[in-house]
Amino acid sequence: MKKMLTYIAVVVAAAAAVFAAFGYNPDSLLRRGQKTMGLKDIKEGIAVTGHPAGEDIPRILSAEEFDKLSFGTDYVTLQPVSIVPTGVWHLKPWVSTYFQERYKGRTVGAPKRKPELITSKLNIHMDYNQYYLLELTDGSYILAEIPEPDADAIKRGKIVTLPIGEKRTFRMSEELSKVCEENGAYTKGIFFAFDEEWYESIDIFMVLLRLGVGITVFFAVGVCLLMLIDKVAYF
């Protein structure tokens, strides 16, 4: 009986560790040191995409206004009214587009290309960002690729001024097209709000932080459950 309970405790601890590792996002903690950018920085040619938006950065209030932006050269921010997860995930621009299969520590076969888009309801994809539909002030919707902590804050009903973003092209899929059609969303461009260079520089660090959280939770939950089992077995 004790052996079976011990096995169950290990499984529960492992499940809790996986949930914690994937659920924890150090993004917002690490972004606290980012400099707020404004029109002066844009005029000086400084890369501003993904940085906190200064007061003079234009706020987009409608899909019609967003439609007038030029691709990759106009920098704006948004204060979304609400957010709709699409369940479609896009490969992060700063991660490798290929992966190598391994067997017993050795590489096997030729590198394989990662899919650009995947569909999933679960937030367990470290190499992917989810596409969201953002409702703007006038009730219209646009597609967006934004940091997860900002998306979570909008889901909780908070007023969020998003990082500076730009209008980009994107690849449409059948699943994404369906969600956009259901909400009457603008589909000629996407709002992209990531500082690619910065995220690429901390990508491994973020993975290590999540791994550390998972290991800590595994041992914490495991020890507590094993202590409880010992007490139950004693009686």
Q: How confident is the model at residue 109 (pLDDT cuts 50, 70, 90)?
A: low
Instruction: Identify residue 205 by its one-letter amino acid code.
Output: F
* Residue 181 CB-density burial (10 A; 0-12 exposed, 13-18 middle, 19+ buried): exposed
- pLDDT greater at residue 189 or residue 22: 189
Asked if 162 contacts 78 with a C-beta cutoff of 8 angstroms, the reply is: yes
Distance CA(48)–CA(203), nearest Å, equals 19
Q: pLDDT band at residue 102, thresholds of 50, 70 and 90?
A: low
Give the mean pLDDT of 127-137.
Answer: 95
Tell the burial category of 123 from Cβ atoms under 10 Å away from its Cβ (0-12, 13-18, 19+).
middle
Q: Please, what is the average pLDDT of the chain?
A: 86
Q: How confident is the model at residue 1 (pLDDT cuts 50, 70, 90)?
A: low
**Enclosing domain of residue 87:** 35-193
Is 165 found in the same domain as 137? yes
Distance CA(221)–CA(235), nearest Å, equals 22
Same domain, 151 and 183: yes
| Contacts of residue 41, Cβ cutoff 8 Å, sequence gap at least 6 | 48
Residues 189, 172 share a domain: yes
Location of structure tokens 């995947």: 118
Do 187 and 118 belong to one domain? Answer: yes
Q: State whether 231 and 166 are in the same domain.
A: no
Same domain, 23 and 57: no
Q: Is the pLDDT of residue 170 over 60?
A: yes
User: How many domains in the chain?
Assistant: 2
Do 187 and 79 fall into the same domain?
Answer: yes
CA distance from start to end of the chain: 13
Q: Are residues 22 and 72 in the same domain?
A: no
What is the pLDDT, as a whole number, of residue 234?
Answer: 55
Instruction: Identify whether residues 83 and 54 lie together within a single domain.
Output: yes
pLDDT reading at 150 higher than 80: yes
For 200, half-sphere exposure in the C-beta direction (CA atoms, 13 angstrom radius) is 9
Mean pLDDT of 135-161: 95
Residues 224, 154 within the same domain? no
180 and 207 belong to one structural domain: no
175-200 pLDDT, tens per residue?
A: 999 999 999 999 999 999 999 988 88
Q: Are residues 108 and 24 in the same domain?
A: no
**The predicted structure's pLDDT at residue 2:** 67
- Residue 219 has a pLDDT of 83
